[in-house]
Structure 1
Amino acid sequence: MPQTPTPHNSAKAGDIAKTVLMPGDPLRAKYIAETYLDGARCVNEVRGMLAFTGTYHGNPVTVMGHGMGMPSIGIYSYELFNFYDVDAIIRIGSAGAFADGVELRDVVAAQGACTDSRYAHQFNLPGQFAPIASYDLLERAVTAAREMGIPVHVGNVLSSDVFYGDDDTASASWKKMGVLAVEMESAALYMNAARAGKKALCLLTISDKAGKGLSPEERQTSFNEMMEIALALTVPRA
């Protein structure tokens, strides 16, 4: 295992749990740790990208921010998989809805992640790679949501490099292909997991649709359902 800490993560070997939950916002990581974890302690503060390790129902869990965009989550997830020997990363983030019937506060499980990024170029593949979730995590997430009475949309999302896009037709083009929502990280996470032989899943809460969006306060409370689905995946099956 490469030497830890790294330039981006001050955690030492053993400080990071085998399962890591990753919101984009490091303050949301702090909220999750304080709200849901027992005995949480801060294990990283480099660049303000907070990480906490504690237990959930007696099971070790780390929650860590990943920042915005594929380059950012690409760095953090690569180090977690390859330097800290993490087995599974569950991204818990926000998204903008494309599809009809996907509304504000709805939860989306990203079965696959289309992308306009060239992140896959580094792997020198002789074709296009299709980034997908780990089926085990996806199946368990859908089951957990059903048991909690939380509806979940399962399907394709778009991981985009662009937040303020210049092409007014792009959203409609992705929508007509059945893409449910847009975010900025899942494809890179899924590619890093595939390359490392590890597991990954992206759970999203719809925060924006057709010019309407949740306030920061609404995001805090509306994301709880998604967080609780993700936390259920940290508990081993009976």
Structure 2
Amino acid sequence: MSTHLGAAAGDIAPVVLMPGDPLRARWIAETFLDDAVCYSEIRGMYGFTGTWRGQRVSVQGSGMGQPSAAIYITELLRDYDVQSIVRVGSCGALTERVGLRDLVIASGACTDSAMNRITFEGIDYAPVADFPLLRDAAAAAPEAHVGLVFSSDSFYASRPELAARMVDYGVLAVEMEAAALYTIAAHYQRRALAICTVSDHVVTGEETTAADREQTFGRMIEVALTAALGDH
């Protein structure tokens, strides 16, 4: 039983979908899983386990940002022997090549977080996705954009002009958790992938509502389940 999850051994499946929003975790469980049972609601960060097409899968909220997500990712991998985590979150498009509600599958994650710089004593470690998960998600969603994301430590950026420079180097979208997910999964030699739905557009100013972000990103969930559980 871990500090922040409090689940008993066996309560959490080997495959976990991880939205940032705990209410999205509940919506995923109620919408996509059969016989879903809540195993944790500590700090309001819901976790559920059920089945999808006969296979056990869990859904666990992570909160916003890498410090929060890192807590839950570490405990899932270290204390519950989770083998695969697929982040299913929202992102902001940085280029006009990506549109509102498009899927972005993150092959790798740039970041301004100091977490990896501290761990690697200044070396710029490159956090990347698990290739089989990436390959299977891309096959399940040929319409998706596959490429780099920027895992920002700040939702309200103090230097937004840097986004344009990152676009010149192939970055598609900004989110807040993928770099930590990929790094921690690599440390534990587990599988990780981030699939995000574009909820707002930095260039055009378009955005979705809070209800949209919580409840209407179903295509992303289908792709994540198909990639993680190998049913395609």
TM band (smaller chain)? over 0.9
How many residue pairs get matched?
230
Structure 1 stretches of 4+ moved >4 Å: none
Post-superposition CA distance 1:71-109 (Å, at most 9, x none): 011110011111100000000000000122101000000
SS in 2 for 1:213: coil
Q: Bigger CA drift: 165-174 or 153-162? A: 165-174
Q: Shift of the alpha carbon at 1:70?
A: 0.3
Select the residue among 86, 109, 112 that pairs with 1:113. 109
Among residues 34, 42, 50, which one is paired with 1:54 in the alignment? Answer: 50
Alignment of 1:189-228 (within 5 A): 189-209=181-201, 210=203, 211-228=205-222
**TM-score with structure 1 length normalisation?**
0.93
Query: In the alignment, is residue 12 of structure 1 matched against residue 4 of structure 2?
Result: no
Bigger mean CA offset, 199-208 vs 209-218: 209-218
Aligned partners of 1:93 and 1:191: how far apart in 2? 17
**Tell me, what secondary structure is at the counterpart of 2:141?**
helix
1:76 partner letter:
Y
Deviations 1:153-185 (A, max 9, x none): 000000000111111312111111110000000
1:163 is aligned with what amino acid? F
Distance 2:42 2:223 in 1: 28
Q: Which runs of 5+ in 2 are unaligned?
A: none
Which stretch of structure 1 is more off in the superposition, 113-122 or 89-98? 113-122
Aligned match of 1:178:
170
Q: Could you say which residue in structure 2 is the equivalent of 1:135?
A: 131
CA contact (8 A) 2:23 2:214 kept: no
**Distance in structure 2 (CA, Å) of the matches to 1:175 and 1:126:** 24
Name structure 1 gaps, 5 residues minimum: none
Residue 234 of structure 1, CA deviation: 3.7
Give the fraction of aligned pairs with identical amino acids, expressed as a percent.
48
8 A Cα contact 1:114 1:158, kept in partner:
yes
Distance 1:125 1:237, change over 3 A: farther
